[in-house]
Amino acid sequence: MKILVIDDEKPTLSMFKLFLTAYGYDVYTAEDGEKGLALFNEICPQIVFTDIKMPGIDGLEVLRRIRKTSIESQVIIITGHGDMEKAVEALDLNASDFINKPVERQALNSALARAEKRKLMPRNMPFEFSETKTEDKLVFSAKGKLTASEQKAVSSFFKTEFINDVKEVCLIFDDSFSIDRSGISLLMEVVQDLKKRGATIVMENLSYNYVRVFRMAGMDKMATLKDALPED
């Protein structure tokens, strides 16, 4: 499988080259956005890692241009400390995931595992949810992309009498799950409403990096967040 890494810092490119080659990938690197896009069109990689801050064409613009092509690639944004707001902006542009510098091995493994699964799925899967209920527990499974367009369906479901007597709500996120800024706001509203009802809330199978986004939004103050880490 081909992976393209775009970053203006040579040590970062060397690190990715070392780790990803050891994992068995065919690794290509570029030192800026312009060279990266040219190489992208030439080799059509299945996965792209791109730094968010680069001179000239930055990572967000790289993402925009890749999403305008017909090439089905998983784009993972590389962010620095304090760039979480930019990471959320990348989610608005349909980034597959993001990873923080300095890169931790478990975060890299998580991003790769998620990209491997998502590349087998259709692009822009519609949001779907299903539920199962026991006497006092509701298990809610979500797949596809959650955006503001789903507000009516999601909000109406969680405000029905169906969940009035529920003591615990478990939200399980499929590997296809993705979210943008408006979706995060919608999910926050749902969690806040459930919390007011006295329900215990657990979120499972979140990507390692999505947990960071949800913590930034304050979700961990209302729910238990459980990430899904691959084996080392």
Give me the DSSP letters along 157-181. HHTSGGGTT-SEEEEEE-TT-EE-H
Confidence band of 3 (pLDDT split at 50, 70, 90) = very high
Q: Distance between CA 35 and CA 47 in Å, rounded?
A: 16
- pLDDT tens digit sequence for 20-43: 999 999 999 999 999 999 999 999
Please check whether residues 160 and 62 belong to one and the same domain.
Answer: no
Please check whether residues 79 and 139 belong to one and the same domain.
Answer: no
Structural domains of the chain, count: 2
Please check whether residues 139 and 171 belong to one and the same domain.
Answer: yes
Please check whether residues 140 and 199 belong to one and the same domain.
Answer: yes
- pLDDT tens digit sequence for 171-205: 999 888 888 889 999 999 889 988 888 889 999 98
Domain that holds residue 46: 2-118
- pLDDT tens digit sequence for 137-146: 889 898 888 8
Kindly write down the DSSP assignment for every residue of 54-122, as one continuous string: -SSS-HHHHHHHHHTSS---EEEEEE-TT-HHHHHHHHHTT-SEEEESSPPHHHHHHHHHHHHHHTTSP
Please check whether residues 134 and 88 belong to one and the same domain.
Answer: no
Please check whether residues 86 and 141 belong to one and the same domain.
Answer: no
Please check whether residues 41 and 91 belong to one and the same domain.
Answer: yes
Please check whether residues 160 and 99 belong to one and the same domain.
Answer: no
Q: What is the mean pLDDT of residues 86-112?
A: 86
Say what the pLDDT of residue 160 is.
61
Please check whether residues 7 and 114 belong to one and the same domain.
Answer: yes
Please check whether residues 145 and 212 belong to one and the same domain.
Answer: yes
- What single-letter amino acid sits at 42? E
